[in-house]
Amino acid sequence: MDTDATGDPVDKLKAIQNDDVEYQDEDDDFDDEEEEEDDPITLGFVDKPKNEWSLRRQYFPSKTGGVPAWLDPLNIPSGRSSVCDICGDPLQLLLQVYAPTDKETTFHRMLFVFMCPSMKCLLRDQHEQWKRHPEKPSRSVKVFRCQLPRINPFYSPECPQYNESHEPAGSGAALCDWCGTWKGDKLCSSCRQARYCSEKHQAMSWRTGHKTACQQMKVSSPVFGPNKSGTTSLESHKGHFGLEFCTFITASISLLDEI
């Protein structure tokens, strides 16, 4: 009698547990069905450009890697904004996306994502982001947003003609002869012609060929191309740059929208 009396509650408890397992299985199946119903969304994909000239700034390209096609060719981020906060080396372009708006004052809008090629810096950046309120946040990935009104001194208000002959108005700031990304504020002390954004890039250029070319440039007459001098008459029409922080591709690849 005692055995039968205690056996009934045990059997009931087992039955309840089995029911809970069945309900749990049904819930899991329901969740799986919900997950299967969510179709993946493709925002875009990368592909090689049909023409290299289509990556120039006057065509407002979206692309990954290579040198940036600055929307505002004069008002380029400089100083601490252009370097990794951890190692101090110049950042490299990861991707840029053209995201225009309907507003006349911010008609042209470009987002630039730069990162440090050092995995050590990226891991340290990630570690610091785990902290809620770091005293001095250091970032190895930086996002810049540049905006220009539809009427501006650099581009026509009309849609550009997609042919190689289309040119923007005015030239840009003098860029680094090594990376072609940041302003070349530093001149070679010997030839006074080569420009660099940092001492590191100057040293790399010197070791890979400028040591020889420098002597030739000293005796030859200076030749200034589009990358050697900027146009200061357009300084009053700078675009608006915003700097945001967020959690080395050698070739330029166009970023195409999904149709």
Strand spans (E) along 55-180: 63-64, 92-98, 108-115, 141-148
Reported confidence tier of residue 98, pLDDT bands at 50, 70, 90: very high
Asked if 96 contacts 115 with a C-beta cutoff of 8 angstroms, the reply is no
Only one residue has tokens 């990954």, namely: 64
- Average pLDDT (44-54) is 82
Look up the domain containing 186 and give its range: 174-217+225-229
Burial 189-203 (b: 16+ CB within 10 A, else e): eebebbbbbbebbbe
Asked if 149 contacts 163 with a C-beta cutoff of 8 angstroms, the reply is no
Say yes or no: 114 and 191 in one domain: no
Residue 159 lies in a domain: yes
pLDDT at 104 over 80: yes
Say yes or no: 63 and 154 in one domain: yes
Residue 19 lies in a domain: no
Residue 28 lies in a domain: no
Cα(174)–Cα(154) distance, integer angstroms: 16
Reported confidence tier of residue 229, pLDDT bands at 50, 70, 90: very low
Among 83-92, 172-181, 239-248, the least confident range = 239-248
- Domains contained in the chain, number: 2
pLDDT at 209: 86
Say yes or no: 75 and 145 in one domain: yes
Say yes or no: 243 and 126 in one domain: yes
pLDDT at 68: 95
Write the pLDDT tens digit of every residue in 173-209. Answer: 999 999 999 999 999 988 888 999 999 999 999 988 8
pLDDT at 226: 42
Residue 30 lies in a domain: no
Write the pLDDT tens digit of every residue in 62-84. Answer: 999 999 999 999 999 999 999 99
Reported confidence tier of residue 215, pLDDT bands at 50, 70, 90: confident
